Amino acid sequence: MVTVNNRFNGIGMTSQRTRGRMVARLRRQGILDETVLAAMGEVPRHIFVDEALASRAYEDLSLPLGFGQTISSPYVVARMAELARAGSRLGRVLEIGTGCGYQAAVLSRIAREVYTLERIASLVAKARRNLRELRVGNVKLKHADGRNGLLEVAPFDAIILAAATLQVPETLLSQLAVGGRMVLPRGAEEQVLCVIDRTPQGYSEMVLDEVKFVPLIPGVG
């Protein structure tokens, strides 16, 4: 779980009041899951971005992290979390693409265990510092190629991809529990947010919003 002390409450455009306005905006945008909204309000997004961008942390924007990566907008993070949760508390969740660790911190509020994979070593170090500072105890971070998933702790109740792919890796589909759900962006230039449910009969896919993510890249760096 996340413990937020006074150092992370922020002032001005990074204050708790600003987070409250972000949550109100998310509610107007259609995020209805109060557990997700509470998590979004409790995790201080401004500490996950560069200090020069902290005043914009609660705007509905994706922001650069360096290395060609971005932190998704608050709406997209909340939307993916709400879809993954589907109204129920999650047990074990796998996130592909840790980035700065923000989405993992949000997921830590709505799931018992979060496993998150990041291919870029510098971002692994950054995310680890952020999560350690917030005392997030139920997130396990690994430097790895996300396309391979994490077979040793599968199956997962939910798998969230924070990078877009044309074809869903079979390795990830196989690590989704029966009754579990994968939330991911699909496409290249034009992308859509998709939900894949695994049932006893197989897999079903639902196409939702238009989105824009960095691509899912193989290997580690």
Digit-coded pLDDT (tens) for 207-217: 999 999 999 99
Question: To the nearest whole number, what is the mean pLDDT of the chain?
Answer: 93
Burial code of 78-95, b = ≥16 C-beta within 10 A, e = fewer?
bbbbbbbbeeeebebbbb
Active site residues: 72
Reported confidence tier of residue 66, pLDDT bands at 50, 70, 90: confident
Q: What is the pLDDT of residues 185-195, one digit of tens each?
A: 999 989 999 99
The top-level CATH class assigned to 61-211 is: alpha beta
- Percent of residues in the chain assigned helix, strand, coil, to nearest 5: 35, 30, 35
Which pTM value belongs to this model? 0.93
Has residue 143 got a pLDDT over 90? yes
3 state SS for 25-50: HHHHCCCCCHHHHHHHHHCCHHHHCC
Q: Residue 143, class by beta-carbon neighbours within 10 Å (0-12 exposed, 13-18 middle, 19+ buried)?
A: middle
What pLDDT sits at residue 12?
67
Q: What are phi and psi of 50, to 5 degrees?
A: -60, 145
Q: Which residue has the higher pLDDT, 8 or 147?
A: 147
What pLDDT sits at residue 2?
42
* Interval 115-127 mean pLDDT: 97
Q: What is the pLDDT of residues 71-84, one digit of tens each?
A: 999 999 999 999 99
What pLDDT sits at residue 5?
47
Has residue 159 got a pLDDT over 90? yes
| Measured distance CA(24)–CA(37) in Å, rounded | 9
